[in-house]
Amino acid sequence: MHVTILLGGDSAERDISLQSGHSVANALESRGHQVTCIDPKDISFDSFSWPQCDVVFIALHGEFGEDGQIQKILDRAGLCYTGSHATASGFAFHKSQAKEIFEQQNIPTPASYLFDRNTPFEQIAEWAMQLNYPLFIKPEAQGSSIGISCVNDSDELLHAIKYCLKFDSSGLIQKAVIGTEWTVGIFDDTVFPLIQIRFQNRFYDHCAKYKDEATTFLLDEAVSPQIQQELISAAKKAYQAFGARGVARVDLILDQTDKAWVLELNTIPGMTDHSLIPKAAQKMGWSFPQLCENICLAAIK
């Protein structure tokens, strides 16, 4: 195959995207495919002449990768690309829109309210009282836990809001569900092995994801068939609710009553050799190069 890989960009997740893209490039080249890497930060798509290729592998994380913008450009150019279409990507990336879809489809998701720079603090504080602490404050459209705070009381609320609004013009105040953190990878009709995430920090923040060596990922955690089915069923409903395609990752919390709560759907999950989707695929028997190749073949098909 001739594969064009989009990587880097200028979102807050640029560094992770570069790691993903270069990992994918090395993997595909090891399988004998021809690869061209393009960083959107270096070009103007208004006058860009796309190279001849069989498929575009999108390894862009964050804004202009997961939010549907690049997918619309590729659609206009008539190019085949990996992952979900523009509409699914846009809805999944914007947390309040994703919440609406989850609620419409009766998919359990933590209660939340949307605020922006003009929302009075008194209103947000009132919502906090309604939801009860602990809470999460999250940017509306960021990934990799960027800009997120866990708030345990009213004294921490204002600082968390200001921190969130450094990364976006709006955000969510969301009820914290107490339980264990899980992720489920889905690739069209294939469900990858479940992964339980354990971490030392207050929550699974950016540091815990990418830097803290104390974070562990359990792929063979012994849970009952009922719990497995609860997590897989919720993940599949979330994937189907958006009309997602290709590889996506659904992040969930399993509460103390063994009920699964969907946090979000990630339509362009990390693709470094340390990322969760490659770990789950490897558990199923797919090497990282095989996974990358299968993603391209599925997009072409």
Which pLDDT tens digit goes with each residue over 94-125? 999 999 999 999 999 999 999 999 999 999 99
User: For position 218, what pLDDT does the model report?
Assistant: 85
User: For position 57, what pLDDT does the model report?
Assistant: 98
The first and second tokens of residue 53, run together, are: 């290729």
Of 87-91, 215-219, 221-225, which has the strongest mean pLDDT? 87-91
Helix (H) or strand (E) holding 6: strand 2-6
Q: Residue 211's pLDDT band (boundaries 50, 70, 90)?
A: low
Region label for 244, one of left (φ > 0), alpha (ψ between -120 and 50) or beta (otherwise): beta
The first and second tokens of residue 26, run together, are: 């090395």
3-class DSSP assignment, residue 98: helix
Q: Residue 223's pLDDT band (boundaries 50, 70, 90)?
A: confident
The domain ranges of the chain are: 2-83, 91-107+178-267, 112-175
3-class DSSP assignment, residue 99: helix
Q: Residue 280's pLDDT band (boundaries 50, 70, 90)?
A: very high
Average pLDDT, stretch 67-83?
A: 96
Q: Is the pLDDT of residue 246 over 90?
A: yes
Q: Is the pLDDT of residue 256 over 70?
A: yes
Q: Which CATH class is domain 2-83?
A: alpha beta
The first and second tokens of residue 134, run together, are: 């602990």
Q: What is the mean pLDDT of the chain?
A: 92
Q: Residue 273's pLDDT band (boundaries 50, 70, 90)?
A: low
Instruction: Specify the amino acid at residue 171.
Output: G
Q: Is the pLDDT of residue 199 over 90?
A: no
Residue numbers annotated as active site: 13, 144, 210, 249, 251, 264, 266, 270
Q: Is the pLDDT of residue 286 over 90?
A: yes
Fold of 91-107+178-267: D-amino Acid Aminotransferase; Chain A, domain 1 (3.30.470)
Fold of 112-175: Dna Ligase; domain 1 (3.30.1490)
Average pLDDT, stretch 44-59?
A: 94
Instruction: Specify the amino acid at residue 221.
Output: E
Neighbours of 204 (CB within 10 A): 21
What is the model's pTM?
0.90
Average pLDDT, stretch 265-292?
A: 92
Average pLDDT, stretch 8-27?
A: 94
Average pLDDT, stretch 121-147?
A: 90
